[in-house]
């Protein structure tokens, strides 16, 4: 029974249906025609600025990932990592699991740098994800504490969950910086196959991790500022503090594979958390516009894939 439920909830059909239901309930109380007319009338300069900013954020997180595998940032290598991230965005949007996106990233780098052990590339993918996630929830907790003192309404369960996640991340970083993880299980031969991955968190690479944390801090703050900028453009009286408090919470929930590209789930969450700052119409405008930016990123990854026949075949065979 559990296997059947797992297959149902992991299926693309379920995500499509659930997204459609969430979208319906989010938009049923607004005039959809007027809403999309407002989207259509968004100034071209505003669209262009946000597309460029979204692309720049992909470059930033690609530079972060670059630093985990190489000691220096070079334009050529960052472009390779950027391509991998765009492809991952494309596959994460159109396939039923985000794991496909991670596999796409791994395969691009493995194909480009065959001398790097496969387990080390896989380890860099996971560590890069963790670094970005940890900085995000740290910012969320700090903003949440400040927000509570300023009277922002924050669900208690979300607030305490944020504390728990920060404690978990703190423990992981403590282990990384004060222990040699690869020596914690000397008797298990199988786990020593992961030594190449553990190389990423040994003493000589800990400075790289700090640099990655700083890049992640810059990228997360830039992204949150972009959301605030978009909200103000659509007439939502958002404070920067509110965006710093609620966006990490929303993003944490959207990690769950319950919808396609976050559509439906994102709109419902934006309405729930930001309704105190603007009308339903303006909030849905902001959410829809941000969703379109995500699709543009994904489609750009699809365009890159069109010009790489070999990689397309590998990804298709791996997904099958």
Lowest mean pLDDT among 159-163, 212-216, 221-225: 159-163
Angle, CA of 41, 91 and 228, to the nearest 5°: 40
Query: Which whole number is the average pLDDT over 144-160?
Result: 80
pLDDT digits (tens, 9 = 90+) for 14-64: 667 767 777 777 777 777 788 778 888 888 999 999 999 999 999 999 999
pLDDT range class, residue 147, cuts 50, 70, 90: confident
pLDDT digits (tens, 9 = 90+) for 73-84: 888 899 999 998
Structure letter (DSSP) for residue 236: -
Q: Kindly report the number of other CB atoms within 10 A of residue 18's CB atom.
A: 16
Cα-flanking dihedrals φ and ψ of residue 252, to 5°? Answer: -65, -45
pLDDT over 80 at 9, yes or no: no
- What is the Cα–Cα distance from 115 to 160, expressed in whole angstroms? 44
- What is the Cα–Cα distance from 282 to 284, expressed in whole angstroms? 5
Structure letter (DSSP) for residue 11: S
Task: Give the model's pLDDT for residue 313.
Answer: 60
pLDDT over 70 at 117, yes or no: yes
Which range, 51-65, 125-139, 150-164, is most confident?
Answer: 51-65
pLDDT over 70 at 99, yes or no: no
DSSP string computed for 196-231: HHHGGGSGGGHHHHHHHHHHHHHHHHHHHHHHHHHH
Lowest mean pLDDT among 8-12, 116-120, 197-201, 296-300: 8-12
Task: Give the model's pLDDT for residue 260.
Answer: 66
- What is the Cα–Cα distance from 239 to 138, expressed in whole angstroms? 19
CB 70 within 8 A of CB 77: yes
């Amino acid at each position: 029974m559990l296997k059947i439920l797992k297959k149902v909830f992991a299926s693309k059909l379920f995500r499509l249906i659930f997204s459609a239901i969430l979208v319906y309930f989010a938009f049923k109380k607004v005039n959809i025609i007027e809403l999309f007319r407002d989207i259509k009338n968004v100034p071209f300069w505003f669209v262009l600025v946000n597309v460029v900013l979204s692309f720049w954020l992909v470059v930033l997180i690609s530079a972060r990932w670059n630093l985990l595998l190489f000691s220096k940032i070079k334009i050529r290598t960052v472009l390779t990592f950027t391509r991998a991230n765009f492809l991952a965005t494309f596959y994460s949007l159109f396939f039923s699991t985000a794991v496909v996106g991670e596999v796409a990233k791994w395969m691009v780098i493995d194909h480009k740098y065959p001398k790097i052990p496969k387990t080390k590339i896989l380890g860099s993918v996971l560590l890069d994800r963790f670094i970005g996630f940890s900085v995000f929830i740290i910012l969320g907790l700090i903003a949440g504490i400040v927000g509570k003192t300023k009277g922002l309404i924050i669900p208690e369960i979300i607030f305490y969950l944020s504390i728990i996640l920060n404690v978990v991340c703190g423990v992981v970083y403590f282990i990384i910086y004060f222990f040699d993880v690869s020596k914690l299980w000397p008797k298990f031969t199988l786990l020593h196959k992961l030594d190449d991955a553990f190389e990423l968190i040994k003493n000589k690479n800990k400075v790289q991790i700090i640099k990655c944390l700083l890049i992640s801090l810059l990228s997360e703050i830039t992204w949150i500022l972009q959301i605030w900028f978009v909200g103000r453009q659509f007439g939502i009286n958002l404070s920067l503090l509110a965006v710093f408090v609620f966006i990490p919470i929303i993003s944490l929930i959207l990690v769950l594979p319950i919808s396609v590209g976050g559509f439906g789930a994102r709109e419902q969450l934006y309405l729930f958390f930001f309704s105190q700052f603007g009308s339903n119409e303006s909030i849905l405008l902001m959410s829809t516009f941000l969703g379109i930016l995500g699709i543009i990123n994904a489609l750009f990854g699809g365009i890159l894939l069109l010009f790489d026949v070999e990689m397309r075949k590998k990804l298709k065979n791996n997904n099958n």
